[in-house]
Amino acid sequence: MNSPGNQPVSTWIIEFILLAALWGASFLFMRMGASEFGPLPMAGLRVALAAVFLWPIMLHQGHWPALRQHWRPILFAGVINSAIPFALFAWAVLHIATGLASILNATVPLFGALIAWLWLGDRINRLRWAGLALGFVGVALLAWRAPAGTGFKTDSAGWAIGACLLASCFYGLSASVARRHLTGIPPLATATGSQLGAALGLALPTLWFWPTHMPGLHAWGAIAAIAVLCTGIAYIIYFRLIASAGPSRALTVTFITPVFAVLYGVLFLGETVTPWMIGCALVIACGTMLSTGLIRTGPAPATPAERA
């Protein structure tokens, strides 16, 4: 009998691919929405609509008592796990290619492992240290050469790359926050409450920076898609994947997401993918797998920082 988290690949591979496709599409929808709404209103609407979508599902599953009991850490987690990184990425995709932003997003496990070592005392052996170094070398190489081929102003591209890395750092921080303060809370309560916390955190900036001209239907459609598909439904699939495939396998969706994001950018936005970007993405992926313990030479214990 297969235990939870160790089910055959055939039972979860479709959800795995679907999740990568949904999260890859989020960069496309962010560009479409932020171009008319602006980064902060786009991020605010995204989390607000996601909370509205998830709320009745959470109530139906009977997880309201858990959210009510642990509302403080859950709402705080939403600010650092959704509000801040969503806004940063929404601004970044206005200045760099969505494919480049998705590759930088793949550094989340690197930051997660490093923060877990600094804060939670996770063990990092020599192989994992080598992985961290390799991953950040890949990021440095990508930042060095990628902006010239993205079609955006290079002065803005540097700040946008920094915004993506800062957002990824917040994702990594939120994983350690979740491990320290949200362990044992039903995932659906955490997902719903975190989106509510993010919506509250972005409420004033959303109103303050609301566009003077009403955005078109395409922008509204992008907001609805990223909120319902790429946030609400994606959260549900992600937690199902953790239960069926296990946390380590679920973590590897980070490596597949840029494939879809780059494909969407080429097909719908006319973006260019350079061999340098592909090579750097492979370096980052290899470093991430080493640093999180997905690749190891022996049975040494590994505790990768999981994204909440």
Q: By residue range, what is the domain housing residue 63?
A: 9-291
- Which residues lie below 8 Å from residue 300, measured CB to CB, with a gap of 6+? 125
Mean pLDDT of 140-145: 83
Q: Any idea how long the chain is?
A: 308
56 domain residue, yes or no: yes
Q: Summarize the confidence of residues 285-304 as an average pLDDT.
A: 65
Buried/exposed code over 104-125 (b: 16+ C-beta within 10 A; e: otherwise)? bbbbbbbbbbbbbbeeeebebe
**pLDDT one-digit tens code per residue, 256-288:** 899 999 999 999 999 888 888 899 999 998 988
pLDDT tens-digit readout, 40-85: 999 999 999 999 999 999 999 999 999 999 999 999 999 999 999 9
For residue 83, tell me if it sits in a domain: yes
Cα–Cα distance measured from residue 28 to residue 232, given in angstroms and rounded to the nearest whole number:
17
pLDDT of residue 59: 97
Give me the pLDDT at residue 187, please. Answer: 87
Report for 127-131, 159-163, 199-203: range of highest mean pLDDT: 199-203
308 in a structural domain: no
Count CA atoms closer than 13 A to 247's CA, side-chain side.
12
Per DSSP (E only), the strands in 75-203 are none
At position 172, the amino acid (one-letter code) is G
**What integer pLDDT is reported at residue 304 of this predicted model?**
36
Q: What is the pLDDT of residue 56?
A: 96
Is residue 300 assigned to a domain?
no
Q: How far apart are the first and last CA of the chain?
A: 28
Q: Is the confidence at residue 147, as pLDDT, over 60?
A: no
Rounded distance between C-alpha atoms, residue 42 and residue 90, angstroms:
7
Give the residue from 192, 172, 25 showing the smallest Cα distance to 84: 172
Q: Which pLDDT score, from 0 to 100, does residue 250 have?
A: 73
Q: Is residue 304 part of a domain?
A: no
pLDDT category, 6, cuts 50, 70, 90? low
Bigger pLDDT: 101 vs 293: 101
pTM equals: 0.87
Average pLDDT over residues 125-147: 85
Is residue 226 included in any domain, yes or no? Answer: yes
Q: Specify the number of domains making up the chain.
A: 1
In this structure, is residue 204 part of a structural domain? yes
Domain assignment of residue 4, yes or no = no
